[in-house]
Amino acid sequence: MARVYNWQIGREMSYWYPESRPKRQFAAVFDTNKCIACQTCTLACKTTWTSGKGQEYMLWNNVETKPYGSYPLAWDLELLEVLNGGRWNGRTYEGETIFESAPAGARVLSWRPAAEDYAYPNVGEDDCAGQVDGGAGFSLPHMAWFYYLARICNHCTYPACLASCPRGSIYKRPEDGIVLVDQGRCRGYQECVKGCPYKKVYFNPMTGTSEKCIACFPKVETGLQPQCFVNCIGKIRMAGYISRPEAARPDNPIDYLVHVRKVALPLYPQFGLEPNVYYIPPVHVPPAFLRQMFGPGVDDAIETYRNAPNDPDLAGLLALFGSSESVMMRWARRGDEIVGADDRGTPLVRVLMREPVHVRPAFDRLYQITRTNCP
């Protein structure tokens, strides 16, 4: 095994191939505080990419309610139970990753979901943690909580799907780090289905090959954000490119949120894949639950996010989410206006931090009517 550096766990680790980072890495930030579980993203992906035979059960994008929801069933709990580790010392992970804890003869610590594990994509939807007493919903605060976790392939820096494939059918594109399955090479051994700890590879029994999220690469190649991003009702998503921590650019939206402000965190960094979808953690959930899911940066991230009303740069950048179909490579705040731009600095979109308030008169003189929704 090669030794590679994984900045998310603050140390070197073992991986099956030498470190080979793409020219630039596709990445995303999801703000969990804004997701309403409308599943528009899920359907936007489904109707675009997985409406064919053999793809019925596939949800390249899914949204599950934590703590009880999961698709496929118990995808994270199964692995956390057998992962030999879990210890953090500050920002350094001292437990074993799924590569380091692989049993003899296996490339990664893995498990394979049963067919019925894919049968209940909405299991646990809107179920609260703990007991909810009658009437508790009308008084605040109460201890019942849940939140929505939207998930796509993480286009990991160290993909376990790629490491698991005995035919070399999975590759990471050098130009943007998007991870793809070569449908011509794949023979359907499904080692990738077992190997991906996020369970984001799906076997198609009609074609006999494995399939996964392709980050809408035909759109991304033309500078557009993927379908699940531009259709997001809650405007929780921003796509872009992430730099290594030492090369972070404050004017790159993803770098600013992940590296500069550290308000967006990877999902289960202890698995060791350096996943490239980053989450702003939900501020109302007990931090102990969030730490095992997003790592030791949770407390600082929540504090930073809660302070956003007094932090015009952060609040401004958050206002850019969902404002443009194009990938915003750069951003800047000019007073009350936030500008999203392409990589040459040409503005793509301008957003006001505070929307002007328009009060519509009850009686419309132009049309000589009274608006029914006005008092």
In single-letter form, the type of residue at position 246 comes to E
Running DSSP on this structure, what letter comes out for residue 98? T
CA atoms within 13 A on the CB side of 163: 27
Stretch that binds ligand SF4, among 123-131, 157-165, 257-265, 325-333 (CB under 6 A): 157-165
Calpha distance 190→188 (Å, rounded):
5
State residue 94 phi and psi, 5-degree precision.
Answer: -105, -5
Asked if 239 interacts with ligand SF4 (CB under 6 A), we say no
Residue 153 binds to ligand SF4 (criterion: CB under 6 A): yes
Please, which of residues 51-70 interact with ligand SF4 by CB under 6 A? 63
Q: Is 151 in the site for ligand SF4 (CB under 6 A)?
A: no
Residue of 67, 72, 159, 272 interacting with ligand SF4 (CB under 6 A):
159
One-letter amino acid identity for 131? Q
85 vs 234 by CB, closer to ligand SF4: 234
Task: Spell out the alpha helix ranges (H) of 96-216.
Answer: 160-164, 191-195
33 contributes a contact to ligand SF4 by CB under 6 A: no
One of 65, 97, 154, 304 touching ligand SF4 (CB under 6 A): 154
Shortest distance, position 271 Cβ to ligand SF4, whole Å: 9
| Identity of the residue, 35 or 298, whose beta carbon is nearer to ligand SF4 in the bound complex | 35
Closest approach of ligand SF4 to the CB of residue 281, in Å: 15
Nearer to ligand SF4 (CB atom), residue 107 or residue 330: 107
Spatial distance between the Cα atoms of 227 and 43, rounded to a whole number of angstroms: 10
Q: Quote the distance between the C-alpha of residue 231 and its chain's center.
A: 15
Stretch touching ligand SF4 by CB under 6 A, among 64-72, 151-159, 280-288, 329-337 = 151-159
3-state secondary structure of 170: strand
Tell me which stretch binds ligand SF4 (CB under 6 A): 152-160, 252-260, 298-306, 309-317.
Answer: 152-160
* Residue 169 and residue 195 in contact, taking contact as beta carbons nearer than 8 Å: no
Shortest gap between Cβ of 314 and ligand SF4 (angstroms)?
20
Residue 150 near ligand SF4 by CB under 6 A: yes
Pairing assessment for the beta strands 25-31 and 277-280 based on DSSP bridges: parallel
Q: Could you say which of 27, 109, 215, 273 contacts ligand SF4 (CB under 6 A)?
A: 273
| CB closer to ligand SF4 out of 161 and 338 | 161
Q: At what angle do helices 298-306 and 287-294 cross, to 10 degrees?
A: 120
Q: In this complex, which beta carbon is closest to ligand SF4, that of residue 196 or of residue 242?
A: 196
Q: Which is nearer to ligand SF4, 40 or 243 (CB)?
A: 40
Structure tokens at 286: 């007990």
CA 109 to mean position of chain CA atoms: 22
Stretch that binds ligand SF4, among 137-145, 196-204, 311-319, 341-349 (CB under 6 A): 196-204
Listed ranges 33-41, 123-131, 336-344, 350-358: which one lies at the site for ligand SF4 (CB under 6 A): 33-41
Residue 351: both structure tokens together: 């957003």
DSSP state of 319: H
Instruction: Provide the token pair at 278.
Output: 């980053």
Residue with the CB atom nearest ligand SF4 in the bound state? 234
Query: Is 272 or 316 the residue whose CB approaches ligand SF4 more closely?
Result: 272
Q: Does 253 bind ligand SF4 (CB under 6 A)?
A: no
From 225, 218, 226, select the one nearest 60 (Cα to Cα): 226
CB 62 within 8 A of CB 40: no
* CA of residue 157 relative to chain centroid, distance: 14
Structure tokens at 155: 């286009």
Q: Which residues of the chain form contacts with ligand SF4 (CB under 6 A)?
A: 35-41, 63, 148, 150, 153-156, 159-161, 179, 196, 198, 200-201, 212, 232-234, 236, 273
